[in-house]
Amino acid sequence: MSFAIPTIADITDATLTARLQHILDFKTKPLGSLGRLEVLALRIGQVLGTEAPQLVQPQILVCAGDHGIAARGVSAFPSDVTWQMVENFLAGGAAVSVLARQHGLALTVVDCGVAKPIAPRDAAPGAPQLLLRKVAPGTADASVGPAMTAEQCAQAITNGMEVVRGLPGNALLLGEMGIANTSIASLLLARLAGLPLAEVTGAGTGLDAAGIERKRAVLQQALDVNAEATNPFDALAALGGYEVATLVGAVLQAAAQRRVIVVDGFITSAAVLVASRLQPAVLQRCVFAHRSGERGHSLMLAQMQAEPLLDLGLRLGEGSGAALAWPLLQSACAVLAEMASFESAGVDNRS
């Protein structure tokens, strides 16, 4: 490995946690009656290290890349859709583009390894920006050998760290685009968690039953041919994609900077799984936005002991679920900051 993984410190602070819990408990409400919103407020305060957390300049980071394994028919869509959707993100027509505008979220799209060249452009104020960090025009086919070399994987991780260092704010929402990347998420989960492919492989972009069986057979070939790649970095290089590796770097850097990390669905969760196997304290900074409709995501969440905020049957990716969950984080901070206590409101607090 030719890059340095940042050390992610344990941010457990019993005193701060007790103060946050006290503030929440003495708001004008029955104890615990705001349910998981209170848990969310506690988490945000812990990440930002304050009793009065404020979320500033939130950033959606959508990483895009292509996969050689797509040629094996593991997706219902062709690889050309990757670059077409990147253009759609930048034009403002994709779901994540719409939701980013709605919620005032800055959107950055990174070409990490899209097969077709994407022309650089200057973004208008408030429009999505494009960053070109292409390691190669798509990975190799993981079903016949490693998808990336160790050097390529390390470069993608380094790119992700550098991108986050260049973004303002204290909250990072994760998104991705890459035809066949549900296959990569399934492969990483199977390898790192030791789970059978049958349990972690689903329809992705819409395969029928026969397509899912074909997909599983191809993925089994990828696991078999890369059987020696067992540690997190080697598994990522052998099985993963440039967008996933870039997200791993983004997560590590955001965690090192104590940003709140809002995790989207199956593929971004795979990046967090890898990052957490490299630096476990990454998970202390994460808020998991939703439980995907993709088979395997619940098992992946269980690996990280994560309880997502939403369960809407989403399986789009892009960061769409993270954007949908964003108002809940804002509400959690508003409750901490603005909701009256029993004492300040003159309300009786009988046990």
Domain range annotation of the chain: 59-328
- Identify the pLDDT of residue 4: 87
pLDDT in tens, 135-147: 999 999 999 999 9
Whether 145 and 139 have beta carbons less than 8 Å apart is answered as: no
Residue 1 has pLDDT above 60, yes or no: no
Least confident interval from 16-20, 120-124, 224-228, 266-270: 120-124
Q: How far is CA 337 from CA 31, 32, 172, 329, in A?
A: 17, 17, 21, 13
Residues 6+ apart with CB under 8 A from 259: 47, 164, 169, 170, 171, 172, 285
The single residue listed with the structure tokens 């960061």 is 319
Q: Is the pLDDT of residue 349 over 90?
A: no
- Give the CATH number of domain 59-328: 3.40.50.10210
Q: How far is CA 2 from CA 153, 188, 243, 280, 304, in A?
A: 10, 21, 19, 21, 27
Confirm whether 318 is a catalytic residue: yes
Per-residue pLDDT reduced to its tens digit, 191-246: 999 999 989 997 776 788 888 888 889 999 999 999 999 999 999 999 999 999 99
Nearest-Å Rg of the Cα atoms of the chain is 20
Model pLDDT, residue 289: 98
Dist CA 62 CA 111 (whole Å): 9
Q: What pLDDT does residue 2 have?
A: 59
Query: Is a pLDDT exceeding 80 seen at residue 186?
Result: yes
What does pLDDT average to over the chain? 95
**Beta-bridge partner residues of 286:** 261
Catalytic residue among 87, 318, 338, 343: 318
pLDDT at 212: 84
Q: Is the pTM of this model over 0.85?
A: yes
**Residue-level pLDDT at 351:** 57
Is residue 173 a contact partner of residue 59, using CB atoms and an 8 Å limit?
yes
**For 90-105, what is the mean pLDDT?**
97
Q: What is the mean pLDDT of residues 97-116?
A: 98
